[in-house]
Amino acid sequence: MRFLFVISFLCCFNMFSQEDIVAAEYYKNGDFEKALLSYKKLYNKSPNNNTYLLQLVKSLQQLEKYQEAETLLLEQISRVNYPPLLIELGYNYQLQNNIINAETYYESALKTIDQNPNFVFVVGKAFEDRSLLDQAITAYEKAMVLKPDLNFNVQLARIYGDQGNVEKMFESYLNFVELNDSYINTIKRAFSEFISENSDNKNNVLLKRILLKKIQTDQNLLWNEMLSWLFVQQKDYNKAFTQEKAMFFRQPESLDRIEELAHIALADKAYQVALDIFTYLTETAQDLDTKLKAYYNLIEIKTQLATKEEYNSILSEYKAVFDAYGTHTKTLFIQISYAHFLAFYKHEPNQAVSVLKQSLELPLNSFQEAGVKLELGDVLVLQEKFNEALIYYTQVQRNLKNSTLSQEARYKVAKTSYYKGDFKWAESQLKILKSSTSQLIANDALDLMLLITDNKYEDSTQTALKLYAKADLMAFQNQTDNAIELLDEILTNHKGKTIEDQALFKQAQLFEKNQEYHRAEANYQAIITNFSDDILADDAYFFLAELYRKKLNQPEKAKELYEKIVFNYQDSIYFVDARNNFRSLRGDAIN
């Protein structure tokens, strides 16, 4: 008997579910007559189901049958204590422009919260569903006064945002996160829709003012964190650093946030601020790892900014680190950096090889050993000792199969073979790397493979491709001027060949490295004009836009080029950055 009851119940439930779906679909598609009939059937079968009643009422309102809707609502209100019915009746009057009666019933719904504050959950939502936002605000605020453990600041913030009342939205979100600090990242994402990189943006100024006021009246470090975050969005890294130091001074538990800020500034090429922060870390950090990483980053930044006359000063900094902390496994990454500096900046590759071979004698794990061997291979490529370099790369590839380092080593094998002019072997390795788990390696592999495949058949002697590979090697060797001259030879003697746009692009990148920005501009423009349908067109648009924005101070020209990418190159890897930069230059808030 029980089994039959269960089967019967499930069949009835399934039937109701199907009818409900059909009715909802009618309503969604604007077929209100059929929706009305469907909801009438459902309501007649379940007269206590307020959901069916309300959908029935909405169908009647769509058909302007307000009197019939009113009769149904009044009848249900007399039987059931369900405040959203009062709101729906008020809204029914509002649809008929009877504002006095509408307000009366809205007020009646709000009074139910006085009787039972928990009614706010259905009352507030019902007001929101009907876009009665002022009444929803009143409902949530009333409930929080009557029952202080209720927190509707998120709902209030969302409503204020919809109304365009940004100040109250900020305050409501901050009131919420003060009691629920685990939601701080959610709040930051919500704020990011209203602020921009421009510190003079009115919403940025408003949020800054609110946070400064809270900092003055409340010792909660949360406000310093939020202010630091705002400064980072504005790229005011010095001001963010001030806030982070204030937080660390009061709560000296971890330097992780300050270290993260240093890397954000470095990634944005705010070198002076990054130098200041890493210097602070060397002076403040107690644990050796943090201190050594800070020293490493300091020297790396100084190397990027240094003139040749300052290289000896950088050598002294390496020596000071090794004198203070030794040459053991803890400083291995600084030893590798030192060897790279000797080879690629001081042009002392033999000494670099000696340093790296000494590092290999340390008790290294397989990943540490791989890092040394990859650098050693690079130095040997610099010396054009290709076969010896390939031995080290291949060892890494075989010893750490399926790891990212193994894939990096395979890419270096391909690149070295390409430098040698062994394009067939390079191509075979690059085909494998197209599906690398590292997106960066996969992209680089695809770019190099396309370069080879696009140019190897045009000339049986592959003269232009060999010259290009030689120029590429010179660029790797930091022989920038020689590489530019060799690319000039390609552009003069192989004009009209497939490789021309590649040579223009590579040369433009080298012009930028030499700070010859107008020459780089001319090359990018030549690609846009003459090779607009080729694979490097979006690269040329993007890099020229970056040049105008960052170096040539021509934001309007940059904006036009970013816009071209947004509308014409949706599949480009630069699409997201181009869209964000375009919006930023236009003055939009960037999520």
Q: What is the pLDDT of residues 293-335, one digit of tens each?
A: 999 999 999 999 999 999 999 999 999 999 999 999 999 999 9
Per-residue pLDDT averaged across 7-15, rounded? 41
**Which pLDDT band holds residue 459 (cuts at 50, 70, 90)?**
low
Q: What is the per-residue pLDDT across 84-134, written as a single tens digit (0 to 9) for each? A: 999 999 999 999 999 999 999 999 999 999 999 999 999 999 999 999 999
Q: Which residue did the predictor score with more confidence, 334 or 590?
A: 334
Per-residue pLDDT averaged across 516-531, rounded? 96
Percent with pLDDT over 70 in the chain? 96
Angle between helices 537-550 and 500-513 (to 10 degrees): 20
**Which pLDDT band holds residue 474 (cuts at 50, 70, 90)?**
very high
Per-residue pLDDT averaged across 354-380, rounded? 97
Output the pLDDT for position 1.
46
Output the pLDDT for position 440.
86
Half-sphere exposure for 122 (CA within 13 Å, toward CB): 16
Output the pLDDT for position 112.
95
Output the pLDDT for position 585.
87
Contact predicate 250/213, CB 8 Å: no
Contact predicate 587/575, CB 8 Å: no
Output the pLDDT for position 589.
57
Q: Which amino acid is at 95?
A: L
Per-residue pLDDT averaged across 348-376, rounded? 97
User: How many Å apart are CA 36 and CA 55, to the nearest integer?
Assistant: 8
Output the pLDDT for position 460.
66
Q: Give the pTM.
A: 0.81
Supply 551's token pair. 């170096």
Q: What is the per-residue pLDDT across 38-51, written as a single tens digit (0 to 9) for each? A: 888 998 888 888 88
pLDDT at residue 189 tops 50: yes
